[in-house]
Amino acid sequence: MTVQTDASDSVTTVYKVTGMSCGHCEGSVSGEISQIPGVSSVKAVASTGEVTVVSAAPLDDEAVRAAVDEAGFELAATA
């Protein structure tokens, strides 16, 4: 997971999600994560397994894990 804060005080976090293989997968993961309070945008890329989330504040990893689980995928362990 990579976290950075930009000039507008939003936080961009990149997560690794395993199991995504198509646009439908990307939509499922994006849809679930976008329901987390404070999230302003989500971009999932199946080919890399990366999910980029922009939020007003750092997100609780367990909330993200639960959203990814709800979509039927797994949040990869962070280093």
The residues spanned by each domain of the chain are 2-75
How far lies 10's CA from each of 28, 34, 71, 74, in Å?
23, 15, 25, 25
Strand 74-75 and strand 11-18: the pairing is antiparallel
CATH number of 2-75: 3.30.70.100
pLDDT tens, residue by residue, 17-51: 999 999 999 999 999 999 999 999 999 999 999 99
What is the pLDDT confidence band of residue 9, given thresholds at 50, 70 and 90?
confident
Q: Say whether pTM exceeds 0.85.
A: yes
Residue 22 CB neighbours (<10 A): 10
Q: Which residue's structure tokens are 């990307």? A: 26
Q: Which residue's structure tokens are 């199946």? A: 46
